[in-house]
Amino acid sequence: MALGVPVAFSFITVNLVGAFFFMGGFLGLDQLVDNATFQVTRFTLVPVPLFLLMGELFFHSGLAIRAFDALDAGAFLLGPEIWEAAESVAADCELSVILSALVGRGAAQAGALGWRGHYNCSVSA
């Protein structure tokens, strides 16, 4: 930091020097490269940068702002029957049950509650 070097380059320098001295010279550097390659190419880490890229694309294209504006406007355009159905749902129901009640899918609501008898979600549809 005192030399004005970016933190990422400082970290990689410390890792390279440490691997060289503490892991047996150039064999330690080979092991460092192998481990880094293996960690970067694992599928479990792929969604993280792609999710960040998607967020940046939504932000810079203006799509995120338009989506939130549409949600804000849509909440005021819903009819009173939607709000009555939402208020009649019990507080201990799952989100899937609430959404199925809002769209009037009785079979979906019965399927969601079929294996959980302790929920009491009666919705007047």
Whether the pLDDT of residue 124 is over 70: the answer is: no
96, pLDDT greater than 70: no
Same domain, 26 and 62: no
Examine the domain organization and report whether 88 and 120 are in the same domain.
yes
The answer, as to whether pTM is greater than 0.75, is no
Q: Which domain holds residue 63?
A: 46-77
- Does 124 lie in the same domain as 88? yes
Q: Is the same domain home to 36 and 70?
A: no
69 and 98 both lie in a single domain: no
DSSP 22-33: HTTTHHHHHHHH
88 and 70 in a common domain: no
Query: Domain total for the chain?
Result: 3
Shared-domain flag, residues 100 and 83: yes
Please, what sign has the CA dihedral across residues 51, 55, 57, 63?
A: positive
pLDDT digits (tens, 9 = 90+) for 34-90: 988 888 777 777 788 888 898 899 889 988 888 777 777 766 666 666 667 666 666
Share of the chain above pLDDT 70, in %: 57
